[in-house]
Structure 1
Amino acid sequence: MKQPPGKLKRGCAAGLLCSGLLLGALQLAAPWVQAAPALDSGKTAPRALKETSNYTVTSVPVEQLHLDEPKLPDLSGYTAAAVEAKIERTPGGKVVVRRMLQQDALKDFIGGNERLREWVQRQNGMPHAIFIEGGYVTPQDIAKTLPDSQFREVEPGVYLARLPLVVAQGATLHVGKDTKDLRLSQERGSFVVNDGQLFFTDTRLTAWREADNGPASLRKGSEFRPFLVSWGGSELYVSGSVFTSLGYDNSKSYGVSITQYTPGMQARLKRPEPTGWLIDSEFVDHWYGFYCYEAENVVIKGNTYRDNIVYGIDPHDRSHGLIIAENTVYGTRKKHGIIISREVDDSWIINNKSYANKLSGIVLDRNSVRNLVAYNEVYQNQSDGITIYESSDNLLWGNKVLNNARHGIRLRNSTNIRLYENISAANGLTGIYGHIKDLSDTDRDLELDPFDTEVSLILVGGKLAANGSSPLSIDSPLSVELYRVDMLAPSKSTGISFAGILGERQDEILDLLVRRKLAVLIDPVENQVDLHN
């Protein structure tokens, strides 16, 4: 159970044993993590001491810190051929135009006078949308059915939608290689809503500014731009395609989104969690390159996310089982390259490149737990390389975190963070920085996003080299365990720096870790009694 914000938990009398218990719990929850062996019953834990504000520095059994290399998910099945095999070419699909009002799939976009007014103005009357129903439909089918004023082929293989497109439950829209580009008119308020199955294979989807005869590149965040949203119970598959200039600063309208219906709608509709694959594609100049909410088993693999506005990849609230692998994310203009936030659990962020983003390269945020962040290259970001905020029980393995403007790896208010075989080098400040922060006086919703002001980590293997201020700095930790870490810092002869009282134990730490090559436990002593007195 969460402790009240700002309250620090007691440290363990045998901090090593506490870490072992945490690792054991993590193994049960996440099958890709191997827990360290339990302590040998013949080993003696550090002796209890009198109450003091100091930390103990002890050597501990190396076996306790062993982890096998994590097992990664098999990515071989996420291919263009596998996407094609999922397409259900059920005959009988039809195309109809209906009013947008009273349609469940559209209520989020026409609720309230302001949003309804948007489409009334753009369509010069009561707004309508194109509905795909009953079976398999292509853009070619839509163009044959509707007048040019609503949907037309502007040149061979290039289609312009001048109304919103809605894929109904039980229907399939397939935009394939016969479509060179599906353009969504910004002036006319076009966008795509998927409530069934939607496929883009070897094609393009472009938010289109008719006045410029070109993509609807961002002018300001509040200005409507076409978007794509895939609702609860739906499936979205994108393969070998290019999506350009989607999304703006309005709910569920961010760019490419896979999202459950809003709570009120979901209580009535009771749809399963949405899912989909986005593979081997390119996403450019979106408000969010990708967003999901209460989604499951989404695969984001082999894509390029470049020059997006707020985030590159942003899975959110209670999404789980995600695979974010082999993507290249760069040039995000406002915030982070890759971020998972608010209980995004049991997911893999592996083998990605995230660089030259405005803030951090990769972020785990707001109680996102049991995730594996492995073998990523995170470099030249304008803030931290990898940032962990209020997200405990995560494993970082074999990442290269290089030349970021601030910290290489930063963790705040997070416990049982395990850092194995990472390289954090040439970052502007600290190689690895752990700290606590009281967020009670911020605008944070403490019921929705609780936190504990505590931090602990296990650091095994890897290198911390040539970072600007120090290789490692920890502020008020519950515990720190170190083993087999190369630490080099040209600006400090000691090669390691701890905040506060830990700085006084620096020589002991380095003696055990560097000279004697032992595993080290740094553990706070709080309210303990010396049993020998």
Structure 2
Amino acid sequence: MPPFIRTSLFASLLASVLTCQAQTQPLVLDRALSVIPARQQSDQQVQLLQRTRQAVQMAEVALRKPAGRAQVSLQPMFSSQEGSWPFEPFVNNGLFRAIAGYQSHHPQAVVISGGSITLAQLAEALHDPKVLRRHKDGYLLSYPLMITANGGLILEGTSLYLYNFSGTALINQGLLSLNQSRLEGWTGDKTSATDRAYRPFVVSWAGSSTQILDSTLSRLGYNANLSRGLSTGLSTQQAPSTPPASVLIRNSHFTELSSGVELQHAQALIEHSTFDQQQQYAIDLNNSQAQVRDNSIRGVENNSGIRVRGQTRALIQGNLILTTAKAGIEVSEQAGALLLTGNRIGDSKGNGIQLRNLTGKGGVLVIEDNLISNSQGSAIDASEVQALAILDNRISASPEYAISLRNALPLPGELALTGNRLGAIGKAVVRVEGIDNVVLGHNQYQGKPLLQNLLIGDLMPVQSVLLDATVRQGCIVQVRRTPGAGQPAALACGNSAL
């Protein structure tokens, strides 16, 4: 494999560029080039990273444990009346149909209120094996369970199995805490008795607290709203000012869920945890604030490893993301500070990182110091993106592009592309179309002399000047959209270090 570009290889690569340009039709030159002093660019990059890190900082996730011993009762579930909103969204999602297959009377739920209770205490209070009974190394729950805003369910060193065929679900408005415990959907020997898919799930409403420490969640969720695994949400019956759901997940394992963690209107810390054999997404963030750090995601059957949407502010750092059906990380119609740093992304069936429709004001997106390899699409693929910094990444082994940014119409904003190592790419290494300002420098390209363009799109007409300045001379160059700019002259970068 050829080494990364050094001056000794520059002549052959520049010859390749000139040959490719000679074979194409003349292009309209609307780009003006100028040298940015290296110190200025370095200071700006440091400031950008500092601002972004500050913007994605998050206060410690606050969890509250209701004091005193909780009261436990069985209460009827109505689909539409005062107080029924926590389970109303699931009326048409198969919950009540599954309940009807197990309960012979009007649907009932276990309700925990007025304090906290352990699983053993809950079984003692209910004293009904049809609802909750001993099973394996813990207990089997066969009724829906609702934790009210002043209630809490505490699992410590035990297992709670949720029966698949009885409409079991955990609906949390207060505190759900698992520590060294297991929460698992359980089928037994019975096959499905309904024509509609259903598996037990956990939903925590805005204002609630959920804590998962050193625990395992397994075989939960099906592909329906708020029912895909562990979900949070803001009900239409809750005031918009309701505090976000608090979620703390640490040192835990999620396996065989529809989506591992699906967060809306939440404040979450997810760290040092593993996600494998997910169906839709491992982690799905929407209108939330989150830090997702040092997790392992392996195997997502239908979509991406991590998805970010809406008014979401997040730090996604140090994660290993392998073997996803779509992208490793997908960001779509998102506004707010987002820092993707130190992640390792590989074997994506789509793009390594996919960005779509990020044109909101006030947001900042930085992709820094990631390793992206063996994506079947492009390593970083963006469209309709207004501002983006791609800094100090290592990208290799993609059959499409290392970096592709395409806007249908030119957008004001800046693409900063510095310090990256880009190689073993099937098409052109970098494609840029439709952004007003591009800053390049200190990138290393591994190309195929005489066979491959390194820079195409808006940069193709000026790529020979750009490569001479940024590779041979080692300077930082700003490329601005300037209609009628004319043929760019060679750049002298001798003083650019000042």
- 1:159-178 per-residue CA deviation (whole Å, 9 max, x = no partner) reads 0001011111111110111x
Amino acid of the structure 1 residue aligned with 2:266: A
TM-score (norm 2): 0.82
Amino acid of the structure 1 residue aligned with 2:433: D
The whole-number CA distance in structure 1 between the counterparts of 2:102 and 2:324 is: 35
The whole-number CA distance in structure 1 between the counterparts of 2:30 and 2:338 is: 33
**Aligned pair partner of 1:61 in 32, 37, 49:** 37
The whole-number CA distance in structure 1 between the counterparts of 2:450 and 2:416 is: 23
Q: Secondary structure at the match of 2:474?
A: coil
CA RMSD of aligned residues (A): 3.0
The whole-number CA distance in structure 1 between the counterparts of 2:170 and 2:114 is: 17
TM-score (norm 1): 0.77
**Aligned pair partner of 1:417 in 376, 388, 397:** 388
- 1:42-83 per-residue CA deviation (whole Å, 9 max, x = no partner) reads xxxxxxxxxx762223322223422228466899x98xxx99
Q: Does 1:302 align with 2:272?
A: yes
Aligned to 1:38: none
Q: Does 1:385 align with 2:321?
A: no
Q: How many Å apart are 1:373 and its aligned residue?
A: 0.5
Gaps of 5+ in 2: 1-27, 487-498
The whole-number CA distance in structure 1 between the counterparts of 2:485 and 2:444 is: 33
Aligned to 1:502: 459
**Are 1:455 and 1:476, in contact at CA under 8 Å, matched by a contact in 2?**
no
The whole-number CA distance in structure 2 between the counterparts of 1:220 and 1:350 is: 42
Q: How many Å apart are 1:455 and its aligned residue?
A: 7.0
**Are 2:297 and 2:320, in contact at CA under 8 Å, matched by a contact in 1?**
yes
Amino acid of the structure 2 residue aligned with 1:498: I
Q: Does 1:319 align with 2:288?
A: yes
Against the structure 1 CA distance between its residues 193 and 462, is the aligned structure 2 distance closer, same or farther, given a 3 Å change threshold? same
- 1:357-402 per-residue CA deviation (whole Å, 9 max, x = no partner) reads 1111011211333111100001111111111112252011101111
Aligned to 2:179: 201
Report the number of matched residues: 445
**Are 1:310 and 1:334, in contact at CA under 8 Å, matched by a contact in 2?**
yes
Q: Does 1:93 align with 2:70?
A: yes
**Are 2:32 and 2:485, in contact at CA under 8 Å, matched by a contact in 1?**
no
Amino acid of the structure 2 residue aligned with 1:243: L
Q: Does 1:266 align with 2:238?
A: yes
Aligned to 1:524: 481
- 1:389-422 per-residue CA deviation (whole Å, 9 max, x = no partner) reads 1225201110111111111111111122001111
Please identify, of 109-118 and 168-177, the stretch whose mean Cα deviation from structure 2 is larger: 109-118
Against the structure 1 CA distance between its residues 114 and 313, is the aligned structure 2 distance closer, same or farther, given a 3 Å change threshold? closer
Q: How many Å apart are 1:270 and its aligned residue?
A: 5.4
Aligned to 1:8: none
Amino acid of the structure 1 residue aligned with 2:176: L
Q: Secondary structure at the match of 1:59?
A: strand
Q: Secondary structure at the match of 2:39?
A: helix
Give matches, 1:211-222, under 5 Å. Answer: 211-212=189-190
Q: Secondary structure at the match of 1:88?
A: coil
Amino acid of the structure 2 residue aligned with 1:135: G
Against the structure 1 CA distance between its residues 492 and 390, is the aligned structure 2 distance closer, same or farther, given a 3 Å change threshold? farther
Q: Does 1:479 align with 2:437?
A: yes
Aligned to 2:170: 192
The whole-number CA distance in structure 2 between the counterparts of 1:196 and 1:508 is: 62
Against the structure 1 CA distance between its residues 112 and 488, is the aligned structure 2 distance closer, same or farther, given a 3 Å change threshold? closer
Q: Does 1:168 align with 2:138?
A: no
**Are 1:303 and 1:328, in contact at CA under 8 Å, matched by a contact in 2?**
yes
Amino acid of the structure 2 residue aligned with 1:165: L
**Aligned pair partner of 1:394 in 365, 368, 383:** 365
**Are 1:109 and 1:115, in contact at CA under 8 Å, matched by a contact in 2?**
no
Q: How many Å apart are 1:288 and its aligned residue?
A: 0.9
**Are 1:314 and 1:338, in contact at CA under 8 Å, matched by a contact in 2?**
yes
**Are 2:185 and 2:220, in contact at CA under 8 Å, matched by a contact in 1?**
yes
The whole-number CA distance in structure 2 between the counterparts of 1:250 and 1:221 is: 15
Against the structure 1 CA distance between its residues 169 and 408, is the aligned structure 2 distance closer, same or farther, given a 3 Å change threshold? same
**Are 1:221 and 1:249, in contact at CA under 8 Å, matched by a contact in 2?**
no
Q: Secondary structure at the match of 1:145?
A: helix
The whole-number CA distance in structure 2 between the counterparts of 1:203 and 1:233 is: 23
Aligned to 1:286: 257
The whole-number CA distance in structure 2 between the counterparts of 1:55 and 1:221 is: 60
**Are 1:468 and 1:489, in contact at CA under 8 Å, matched by a contact in 2?**
no
Q: Secondary structure at the match of 1:148?
A: coil
The whole-number CA distance in structure 2 between the counterparts of 1:68 and 1:220 is: 58
**Are 1:279 and 1:303, in contact at CA under 8 Å, matched by a contact in 2?**
yes
Q: Secondary structure at the match of 1:477?
A: strand
- 1:451-481 per-residue CA deviation (whole Å, 9 max, x = no partner) reads x867741011120111121221112332211
Aligned to 1:131: 111
Q: Does 1:464 align with 2:414?
A: no
Gaps of 5+ in 1: 1-51, 439-451
**Are 1:340 and 1:368, in contact at CA under 8 Å, matched by a contact in 2?**
no
**Are 2:412 and 2:437, in contact at CA under 8 Å, matched by a contact in 1?**
no
Against the structure 1 CA distance between its residues 457 and 272, is the aligned structure 2 distance closer, same or farther, given a 3 Å change threshold? same
**Aligned pair partner of 2:228 in 247, 254, 268:** 254
The whole-number CA distance in structure 1 between the counterparts of 2:242 and 2:87 is: 16
Against the structure 1 CA distance between its residues 379 and 423, is the aligned structure 2 distance closer, same or farther, given a 3 Å change threshold? same
Q: Secondary structure at the match of 2:165?
A: coil
Aligned to 2:134: 153
Amino acid of the structure 1 residue aligned with 2:295: N
The whole-number CA distance in structure 2 between the counterparts of 1:512 and 1:204 is: 58
**Are 1:343 and 1:369, in contact at CA under 8 Å, matched by a contact in 2?**
yes
**Are 2:64 and 2:209, in contact at CA under 8 Å, matched by a contact in 1?**
no
Percent identity reads 21
Amino acid of the structure 1 residue aligned with 2:208: S
Q: How many Å apart are 1:504 and its aligned residue?
A: 2.0
The whole-number CA distance in structure 1 between the counterparts of 2:300 and 2:104 is: 36
Give matches, 1:352-367, under 5 Å. Answer: 352-367=319-334
Q: Does 1:404 align with 2:365?
A: no
**Are 1:356 and 1:382, in contact at CA under 8 Å, matched by a contact in 2?**
yes
Q: How many Å apart are 1:158 and its aligned residue?
A: 1.5
Q: How many Å apart are 1:151 and its aligned residue?
A: 0.6
Q: Secondary structure at the match of 1:418?
A: strand
Q: Secondary structure at the match of 1:436?
A: strand
**Aligned pair partner of 1:329 in 274, 297, 305:** 297
